[in-house]
Amino acid sequence: MTSYTIGKLAKMAGVSVRTLHHYDQIGLLAPSARTESDYRLYGEAELLRLQQILFFRELDLALSEISRILDDPSFDPLQALHEHRLFVQAQVERQTRLLRTIDQTILRLTGENMGMTNEELYEGFTKDQAERYPREAREMYDPEVVAESERRVRRMSKAQWNAVKAEGDEVNRALAAMMDRDPGDAEVQELVARHHAWLKHFWTASAEQYRALGQGYAQHPEFRAFYDRYRPGLADFLAAAMAHYADETLRGSEGRNGPSHP
């Protein structure tokens, strides 16, 4: 049978040798044997009893009460372990809730918790549009892709979200200023590359998806109106430039690296 010295047992249990001496002195945990030099030795039964003692200490029971419970002939160690487990599980759940509350408070105080409503996400649109666009997106695209896009946005701080919006606005304004050029013009395509990279804040579009998105900008009356506010005709110009980028850049990249997936 394996025996443990008092020092090894103390290290295993995370208590001091002095504590084990005290438990022995009050009759709470006696060693199973002693060496010829009178050193205490503990066996498996003492390990299990010490475990119970420590569990009950977590309940703030007095040592005298713990001794009474453990020495009661009707005491069932297995039943006690089940009860300890329920207690620990409840404590874990409570601590998890506390941590969540603390994290939410920290984020709120530091301004990093966006917690935005659909109206804030669709700032500038009507309430009906803000409620309708997510529903339409799920009908037009893979619902999981749409859900992941929303999760990405909601994980952003308000400062990050404002920066993303500002970046998109900058690209749209720059494209509107180049509408006199061919959609395949090198500088126009550089801006479209920025647009495709900007889109990755929400999802990663393959060539086919990016081309379809551009067509959606031009065909959807409300999105067409959004882009045409920058300059009349921008929705059509952007759709053509996105189609060129999808065909000439993204498809070539997918041919070399394999198709990309959102």
**What CATH number is given to the structural domain containing 208?**
1.10.490.50
Considering the domain architecture, whether residues 94 and 180 belong to the same structural domain is answered as: no
Considering the domain architecture, whether residues 99 and 122 belong to the same structural domain is answered as: no
Q: Mean pLDDT across the chain, nearest whole number? A: 83
Considering the domain architecture, whether residues 138 and 233 belong to the same structural domain is answered as: yes
Q: What's the rounded mean pLDDT across residues 187-205?
A: 92
pLDDT at 140 over 90: no
Phi-psi region of 233 (alpha: psi -120 to 50; beta: other; left: phi over 0): left
What is the model's pLDDT at position 252? 73
Considering the domain architecture, whether residues 130 and 243 belong to the same structural domain is answered as: yes
pLDDT at 259 over 50: no
Domain that holds residue 84: 76-113
User: Other C-beta atoms within 10 Å of 112: how many?
Assistant: 14
Residue in the structure block whose two tokens are 């009860």 = 83
For 166, phi then psi, to 5°, come to -65, -40
Closest CA to 157 of 122, 110, 214, 223: 110
pLDDT tens digit string along 216-237? 889 988 889 989 999 999 999 9
Residue that wins the pLDDT comparison between 26 and 58: 26
pLDDT tens digit string along 80-93? 888 888 888 888 88
9 neighbors 20 (Cβ within 8 angstroms): yes
Flag whether 262 is in a domain.
no
Considering the domain architecture, whether residues 177 and 247 belong to the same structural domain is answered as: yes
CA-CA-CA-CA dihedral for 216, 220, 226, 229, to nearest 10? 100
pLDDT at 129 over 80: no
What is the model's pLDDT at position 260? 39
Considering the domain architecture, whether residues 82 and 203 belong to the same structural domain is answered as: no
What is the model's pLDDT at position 258? 46
Considering the domain architecture, whether residues 94 and 49 belong to the same structural domain is answered as: no
Considering the domain architecture, whether residues 66 and 82 belong to the same structural domain is answered as: no
Query: How many angstroms separate the CA atoms of 11 and 37, rounded?
Result: 21
Flag whether 21 is in a domain.
yes
Considering the domain architecture, whether residues 89 and 18 belong to the same structural domain is answered as: no
What is the model's pLDDT at position 262? 34
Number of domains in the chain: 3
Considering the domain architecture, whether residues 14 and 66 belong to the same structural domain is answered as: yes
pLDDT tens digit string along 2-56? 889 999 999 999 999 999 999 999 999 999 999 888 899 999 999 999 999 999 9
What is the model's pLDDT at position 207? 92
Considering the domain architecture, whether residues 64 and 92 belong to the same structural domain is answered as: no
Q: Are strands 33-34 and 40-42 parallel, antiparallel or unpaired?
A: antiparallel
Query: How many angstroms separate the CA atoms of 146 and 223, rounded?
Result: 17
Considering the domain architecture, whether residues 135 and 193 belong to the same structural domain is answered as: yes
Query: How many angstroms separate the CA atoms of 183 and 233, rounded?
Result: 12
pLDDT tens digit string along 141-172? 667 767 777 777 777 777 788 888 899 999 99
What is the model's pLDDT at position 33? 93
